[in-house]
């Protein structure tokens, strides 16, 4: 199975190498801003000419938004715009132009209705202070050295890695991987290089192909599995909050940059900002590490993983829970499960957003009309079941796998619930006869690593 995979390594750059990388990132920003200004000028000129009654065929010629057209316009003007262009690799300018071409296409597709999701605004100019420095190389000498401690990139030469690249080097030596691009990016105070690699992965199977696990995500506990396992929420951001406040106050007392007066940041301000950025980077690294360990274990162990389609954007509007929801990383868990189940030969089922997993009794299938957030224990009035609220929801999610298999190879017929739970309650999802109880090993075979949305209400 061929797939696109990224390998990310930290770098140990010398001051001279860091200046060279920053110069390439600045060249990408300059090319992006120049092309964006050119596009805006042509658009404004054509709009003004239309107000004067100029015929369409006599308007100023439009500038195409494709990457080849932007690159051609840049090559014609780079001698005047950037006389120093020979000091940087051509890939640096191509990075900025490619980012603008993608942004313009997304904006145009959003306006025409071709792009789904949240609205996309018109591209904006990149600031030298606020934009994260980044540059991507797609051609030239891109390789990992035999010592697996250095990488070679065009114009930048030999860069030392902070860690060994043996995992990527083994695949390259065996011929099961091919480097497509390399991206340099500064996260906080440390530079990283990410290799986009086409990998030939061996076909895998989960340790328990017939196992079905429901995963209920939350803030109090990061995840509750239908097997009864409770995954605690480490709350990395809350743990580091006190130190962040102290460093933020220390930074505010220093002399920082001021664009209005042209004042430059003092050395002490730069050192304080670096200390604060390192704390933020540590929180992000700890969160990323924990989520990867959890999702990898689920994908390798179980043949079917069932999660909910959570409205994370709506949760972030809650001022009291927004910080905790963002710290948990619900969307990242689902994203990682999507590709890791495919790699391991399993499947990921996504329950409908309005499926009442918390309101439904996992024992008899009765549905409550109302369940407040403060009710942490589920008490069924029909059968008398008393169970933890999150564990009950995970059992209901695991039971959806049987409903999916009963409906066939595709999702359950219907378009899914489009509103909240009515007073009468939707039709309860009951366990199918002959299947294993939710949370235990069942008879559901893996479907070759697919992600399927489970719908819960027929038309």
Which position among 91, 98, 308, 352 bears the catalytic label? 308
Residue 108 has which token pair? 């145009």
258 in active site: no
CA dihedral for 223, 284, 142, 89, sign (positive or negative): positive
Which position among 91, 98, 352, 390 bears the catalytic label? 390
173 in active site: no
For residues 196-218, one letter each, b for 16 or more C-beta atoms within 10 angstroms of the residue's C-beta and e for the rest, the string is: bbebeeeeeebebeebbbbbbbb
Which position among 91, 216, 352, 405 bears the catalytic label? 216
308 in active site: yes
Residues 6+ apart with CB under 8 A from 245: none
Over its C-alpha atoms, the chain yields an Rg (Å, rounded) of: 27
Q: Give, in degrees to the nearest 5, the angle at Cα 236 between 232 and 242.
A: 130
Is the CB of residue 362 less than 8 Å from the CB of residue 395?
A: yes
What is the rounded distance in angstroms from the CA atom of residue 451 to the CA atom of residue 141? 37
Q: Where do we find the tokens 């299938």?
A: 365
Is the CB of residue 105 less than 8 Å from the CB of residue 65?
A: yes
Catalytic site positions: 216, 308, 390
């Amino acid at each position: 199975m061929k797939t696109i995979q990224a390998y990310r390594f930290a770098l140990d750059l010398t001051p001279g190498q860091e200046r060279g990388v920053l110069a390439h990132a600045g060249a990408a920003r300059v090319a992006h801003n120049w092309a964006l200004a050119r596009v805006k000028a042509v658009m404004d000129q054509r709009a003004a000419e239309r107000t004067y009654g100029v015929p369409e065929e006599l308007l100023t010629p439009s500038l195409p938004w494709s990457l080849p057209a932007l690159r051609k316009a840049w090559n014609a003007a780079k001698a005047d715009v950037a006389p120093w262009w020979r000091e940087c690799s051509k890939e640096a300018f191509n990075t900025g132009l490619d980012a603008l071409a993608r942004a313009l296409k997304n904006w145009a597709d959003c306006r025409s209705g071709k792009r789904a999701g949240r609205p996309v605004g018109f591209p904006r100019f990149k600031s030298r202070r606020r934009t994260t420095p980044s540059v991507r190389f797609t051609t030239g000498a891109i390789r990992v050295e035999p010592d697996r401690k250095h990488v070679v990139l065009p114009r930048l030469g030999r860069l030392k890695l902070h860690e060994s690249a043996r995992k990527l080097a083994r695949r390259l030596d065996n011929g099961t991987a091919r480097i497509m691009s390399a991206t340099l990016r500064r996260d906080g105070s440390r530079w990283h290089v990410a290799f986009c690699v086409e990998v030939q992965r061996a076909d895998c199977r989960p340790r328990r192909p017939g196992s079905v696990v429901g995963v209920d995500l939350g803030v109090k506990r990061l995840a509750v599995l239908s097997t009864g396992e409770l995954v605690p929420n480490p709350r990395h951001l809350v743990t580091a909050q006190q130190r962040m406040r102290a460093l933020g106050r220390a930074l505010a007392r220093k002399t920082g940059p001021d664009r209005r007066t042209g004042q430059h940041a003092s050395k002490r301000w730069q050192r304080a900002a670096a200390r604060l950025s390192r704390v933020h980077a540590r929180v992000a690294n700890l969160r990323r590490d924990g989520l990867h360990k959890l999702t990898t274990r689920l994908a390798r162990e179980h043949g079917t993983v069932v999660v909910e389609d959570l409205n994370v954007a709506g949760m972030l509007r809650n001022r009291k829970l927004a910080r905790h929801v963002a710290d948990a990383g619900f969307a990242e868990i689902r994203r990682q499960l999507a590709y890791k189940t495919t790699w391991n030969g399993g499947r990921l089922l996504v329950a409908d957003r309005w499926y009442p997993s918390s309101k439904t009794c996992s024992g008899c299938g009765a549905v409550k009309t109302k369940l407040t957030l403060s009710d942490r224990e589920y008490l069924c009035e029909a059968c008398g079941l008393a169970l933890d609220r999150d564990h009950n929801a995970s059992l209901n999610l695991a039971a959806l796998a049987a409903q999916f298999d009963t409906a066939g190879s595709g999702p359950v017929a219907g378009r899914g619930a489009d509103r909240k739970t009515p007073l009468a309650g939707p039709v309860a999802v009951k366990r199918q006869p002959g299947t294993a109880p939710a949370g235990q090993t069942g008879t559901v075979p893996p479907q070759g690593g697919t992600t399927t949305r489970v719908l819960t209400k027929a038309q």
